[in-house]
Chains A and B, each alone.
Chain A
Amino acid sequence: MPLDDASDTMDPPSERTRWTGAHKWVAGQTALIGLVGATLFYTASGSVKTDIWMTSTGLMLATMYLGIFRFRRANLKPWLLVAGGLTSAYVAMFLMNYGSWFGLSFGAPSLLDGLMLANYPLATLGAIIMLSRFNVRTGMHALLETVTLTVAGGLLIYVFVGVRAAEAAAGTAATIVAALYPAGNVLLLAVLVAVAVRLRERPGGMLLVALGFAGNLAADLISSWQRLEGTYQPGGWVDFGWLLCFIGLSAAPSWPESGRAVLLSESIDTDEAQMTPGRLSILLFALLSAPAVLIGQQLGDADTSETVAVLGTVVVLALALGRIALYNQDLRRKEAALQAANAELVQSQNDKQSLLWRLNRAVEEERKRIAADIHDRPVQQLAALGYKVETVSLALMSGDVDKASDLTEEVADELSEQLTNLRNLMTEVRPPVLDERGLCGAIEDAGRAFAAKHDGVEVTVEGGGGAIDAALEPDAETALYRIAQEALANIGKHAEASNVTIEIRDVDGDVELTVTDDGVGFRLEDRAGFVGAGHFGLAGMGERIAMLGGSMDVESEPGAGTSLRFRLPNDVRSTTDVDHQPQGDLAATGA
């Protein structure tokens, strides 16, 4: 299926991730053996019951190996550890039931306890390696939750089962063995807690392993309790827990998803610290375990467990408090981060508004200045010329030809002067030099004018050439020209530079304008305060290039000059022909 193919490409599995005929066959065998075995076991009686038990669990163990070697070749180690543990337990059961065939008899404790106990560490180790291959929570929160739950549960197992079983045992060896079983149960509990708390996803195979462990744990605990109370009946409903252990573990390897090595540990859980209902119930359980332990002590009549019970309770409470403290800490950190982000946002908003206001004012002032220029120069001069022409007319009427002739000459001179005035005004609005010589030529002129105005400053304009001049939109061209002018004005005002270099280059199709000076420079961290202090030059240039979708980079250091780099992306550039021709490489010195 296309969907599966896609997921395969995105997340290449180390093992098969889809149900195939083979998967179905092995899983089907497991289900069949489990179902038939369980049915026969609970319907039969006498020694046949034992035979049915040993046969069905043996077959399930074989199926487990079949599944492992068929489907888990790429990940054999953890599965063989789990299977090895189960095999060890199976051998113990086999010897216990059929040892007499070989003339073997076992006391208590014996080799069989060793085989039986080996199951717990082997299975636990295998499951933990399996878990590490999945996307698990690895932070302090998850660790605390796992430890809290395990310690609290372990404490309950210890108080309710462990101490009593150990006390009931006769002799040192028997006492140690009796205490080791609950310890093994704590290991199983730790795996179950880890699956519940740390696993971010729910892979079928891993859940089947957990189901097997849960069955084993429940049967162990209940049977231990019943043995202490003297109510345990072999072949009863409690045994189903162990049957479930075989069913779960033998089915697990043939579950396709469980083989996926989803190594997503880099994925970040943003709600790691959040108190979900599940995590709250962990804390509740841990807190409730304290009174439960006290009750257990009363019931168990176990003086030796008092210190452990108190210490354990204190540890559990401390762990729970630690988890709450972590949550608090995270909340505070998040709040601080939020406040900082908010302050930054407000600041940037203010800067932007201030800049916009300033830009608007600049535009309005520019208009006012141009209007005043038109009023003061062309309008007045043209009105004066009107008076002169009227005077010429009157002079001619009165026959004063000389006066008329002189005045006409004056009128012609002044008309020419007015044309120059209007032309200058036009240059200020849209520099014709941009149309005549292109951006590079215009910037070259601006550099030359700047150098002429500032003694001892050398301005070098480099770059330009073919593609740049011909292909910029007029507004982009004007913006870059204004930026160059503003950068020069800034240098004139603040930099105290003696060399200025302006470069215009085509970088991967983008136009890049760089203005570098060897002046006094400034600390980059001071830049944020420029707008607030009324220095709008840099921000204005940044805004101007940003309005065209471009970007500005500022490099500066006190005493090491300043470099401003403006980059205008490719898509702003015009595809229409512009009537001026490319200038070729420019390397003019404006000084």
Chain B
Amino acid sequence: MTEASGGAVRVVIVDDSSSIRAALRSLLDTVPMTDVIGEAADGLEGVDVVLELRPDVVVMDMQMPNLDGISAARQILEEWPGAQILMNSAYTDESLMAEADSYGVKGYLSKDLRPAKLVRAIVALGQLAQHDDAPLSTA
């Protein structure tokens, strides 16, 4: 992993599972290049937290109470088109992936992926976001 030029990548975790939030926060805290600046336990709260904190990267679960991940991502991107959102889900449904892509979501990762890859994706996306405000064309 390379060192972030603009400081640590600021991350918000949106996931209804407290275990996931705690474990991911603990992992990202161990990585020097990332800094978890906020958490949300459902989509509605996620929209508020993200729009308020404007993190470099959002790690968003798909299935959540109150507002699901895809709808939350859509609302965030409508308000803030530059948001870098990574969907992180137990489901890998093609149509959901396509839908997320159409809203401008930057990536779609399965929860069965090795955590190191998730970390690398977060760091890479975060650093790109810090260097260039323009949205990436693909995830």
* Residues of chain A at the chain B interface (Cβ within 8 Å): 375-376, 379-381, 383-391, 394-395, 398, 403, 407, 414
Q: Are B90 and A398 in contact (CB under 8 A)?
A: no
Q: Are B19 and A380 in contact (CB under 8 A)?
A: yes
Most-contacted residue by chain A among B20, B22, B63, B115 (CB, 10 A): B115
As a 0/1 sequence over residues 27 to 62 of chain B, the CB contacts with chain A under 8 angstroms (1 = contact) are 100110000000000000000000000000000000
Residue of B nearest to A391 (CB): B27
Q: A residues within 8 A CB of B119?
A: 390
Q: Which of B22, B31, B112, B114 is within 8 Å of A384, CB to CB?
A: B22
Q: How far is the CA of A386 from the CA of B112 in the complex (A)?
A: 9
Q: A residues within 8 A CB of B63?
A: 375
Q: Are B26 and A387 in contact (CB under 8 A)?
A: yes
Q: Are A391 and B23 in contact (CB under 8 A)?
A: yes
* Residues of chain B at the chain A interface (Cβ within 8 Å): 17, 19-20, 22-24, 26-27, 30-31, 63, 90-91, 111-112, 114-116, 119
Q: Are B19 and A384 in contact (CB under 8 A)?
A: yes
A-B contacts, 26 listed (Cβ < 8 Å)? A375-B90, A375-B91, A379-B90, A380-B20, A383-B23, A383-B90, A383-B112, A384-B17, A384-B19, A384-B20, A384-B22, A384-B23, A386-B111, A386-B115, A387-B20, A387-B27, A388-B26, A388-B27, A389-B115, A390-B115, A390-B116, A391-B27, A394-B27, A394-B31, A398-B30, A414-B19
Q: How far is the CA of A409 from the CA of B116 in the complex (A)?
A: 21
Q: Which of A380, A386, A395 is within 8 Å of B114, CB to CB?
A: A386
Residue of B nearest to A407 (CB): B26
Q: Are B17 and A387 in contact (CB under 8 A)?
A: no
Q: How far is the CA of A100 from the CA of B112 in the complex (A)?
A: 132
Q: B residues within 8 A CB of A414?
A: 19
Q: How far is the CA of A253 from the CA of B3 in the complex (A)?
A: 126
Supply 16 further A-B pairs (C-beta < 8 A) apart from A375-B63, A386-B115, A391-B26. A375-B91, A380-B19, A380-B20, A383-B23, A383-B111, A384-B17, A386-B111, A386-B114, A387-B26, A387-B115, A388-B27, A390-B114, A390-B119, A391-B23, A391-B30, A407-B26
Q: Are A385 and B23 in contact (CB under 8 A)?
A: yes
Q: With A375-B90, A390-B116, A390-B119 as known contacts, state yes or no: A383 contacts B20, CB within 8 Å.
A: yes
Q: A residues within 8 A CB of B24?
A: 384, 387
Q: Say how far B57's CB is from chain A's closest CB, in angstroms.
A: 16
Q: A residues within 8 A CB of B23?
A: 383-388, 391
Q: Say how far A79's CB is from chain B's closest CB, in angstroms.
A: 94
Q: Which of A380, A390, A403 is within 8 Å of B17, CB to CB?
A: A380
Q: How far is the CA of A479 from the CA of B125 in the complex (A)?
A: 54
Q: Are A394 and B111 in contact (CB under 8 A)?
A: no
Q: A residues within 8 A CB of B91?
A: 375
Q: With A387-B115, A390-B115 as known contacts, state yes or no: A395 contacts B30, CB within 8 Å.
A: yes
Q: B residues within 8 A CB of A380?
A: 17, 19-20, 90, 111
Most-contacted residue by chain A among B26, B63, B119 (CB, 10 A): B26
Q: A residues within 8 A CB of B114?
A: 386, 390
Q: B residues within 8 A CB of A395?
A: 30
Q: How far is the CA of A380 from the CA of B24 in the complex (A)?
A: 11
Q: How far is the CA of A376 from the CA of B65 in the complex (A)?
A: 12
Q: How far is the CA of A381 from the CA of B18 in the complex (A)?
A: 9
Q: A residues within 8 A CB of B31?
A: 394
Most-contacted residue by chain B among A379, A385, A386, A387 (CB, 10 A): A387
Q: Say how far B61's CB is from chain A's closest CB, in angstroms.
A: 9
Q: B residues within 8 A CB of A407?
A: 26
Q: Which of B20, B22, B27, B111 is within 8 Å of A390, CB to CB?
A: B27
Q: Say how far A381's CB is from chain B's closest CB, in angstroms.
A: 6
Q: How far is the CA of A394 from the CA of B17 in the complex (A)?
A: 23
Q: How far is the CA of A389 from the CA of B20 in the complex (A)?
A: 13
Residue of B nearest to A411 (CB): B23
Q: How far is the CA of A398 from the CA of B47 in the complex (A)?
A: 35
Residue of A nearest to B91 (CB): A375
Residue of B nearest to A376 (CB): B17
Q: How far is the CA of A403 from the CA of B27 in the complex (A)?
A: 11
Q: How far is the CA of A407 from the CA of B22 in the complex (A)?
A: 12
Residue of B nearest to A381 (CB): B19
Q: A residues within 8 A CB of B17?
A: 376, 380-381, 384
Q: How far is the CA of A439 from the CA of B22 in the complex (A)?
A: 43
Q: How far is the CA of A36 from the CA of B76 in the complex (A)?
A: 123
Q: Say how far A415's CB is from chain B's closest CB, in angstroms.
A: 12
Q: How far is the CA of A478 from the CA of B86 in the complex (A)?
A: 44
Q: Say how far B30's CB is from chain A's closest CB, in angstroms.
A: 4
Q: How far is the CA of A384 from the CA of B31 in the complex (A)?
A: 16
Top 10 A-B residue pairs of the complex, sorted by shortest distance between their CB atoms: A390-B115, A387-B23, A384-B23, A384-B19, A380-B17, A383-B111, A391-B27, A387-B27, A394-B30, A379-B90
